[in-house]
Amino acid sequence: MHELSLTRNIVSIVSEKAQGAKVTQVTLEIGKFSAVLPDAIQFCFDIVTKGTVAEGAELEIIETPGTGECHACGARFELQQMFSPCPCGSTNITRLTGSELNIKHMVTA
């Protein structure tokens, strides 16, 4: 249920930045390994925005895949799991994407 408190954070930031304007659209970026369920955020968003400048706003969620760079062979590849090894077998990997948890932009009317 941390999605509820994350959504409260989202609505609080969006409301502050809107400075009283009506918010019609919010775009989030949520990584595959961020431990956050986009569906749950969507669900909470409708509830938490009630009575705020973002009530009725459309929520767009960009889900970013996990990618990693292998230190053994230099390949960049998609990570199916947080600790997937490189196709070459190495586990010496730096995760490049997948942990995003950001508000990208919003549209006000």
Partner 1 sequence: MCATCGCSDTGTPRITNLETGQTNSLASHHHTHVHGKHDAGHDQHSHDHEHTLILEQAILSKNDRLAERNREWFQENNILALNLVSSPGSGKTTILEHTIRVLRESMAISVIEGDQETLHDAERIQRTGCRVVQINTGAGCHLEADMLARGLEELKPPAHSLLLIENVGNLVCPALFDLGERTKVAILSTTEGEDKPLKYPHMFQSSSIMILNKIDLLPYLTFNVEKCLEYARMVNPHIQIFQVSATTGEGMAQWYDWIGAQMKSMTDKVGSPC
Backbone angles phi, psi at 42, to 5 degrees: -55, -45
Query: Which of 62, 73, 75, 109 touches partner 1 by CB under 8 A?
Result: 109
Least distance CB 87 / partner 1 (angstroms): 18
CB neighbour list of residue 103: distance below 8 Å, 6 or more residues apart: 10, 13, 14, 26, 27, 28, 29
Q: How far apart are CA 38 and CA 32, in angstroms?
A: 10
Look at the block and give the residue holding tokens 């053994």.
72
86 part of the interface to partner 1, by CB under 8 A: no
Q: Give the strand order in the sheet containing 66-70.
A: 76-79, 66-70, 93-97
8-67 residues in contact with partner 1 (CB under 8 A) are 8-10, 12-14, 17-18, 21, 24, 28, 35, 43-44, 46-51, 55-58
Least distance CB 69 / partner 1 (angstroms): 17
The residue ranges that bind partner 1 (CB under 8 A) are 1-2, 4-6, 8-10, 12-14, 17-18, 21, 24, 28, 35, 43-44, 46-51, 55-58, 82-83, 91, 101-109
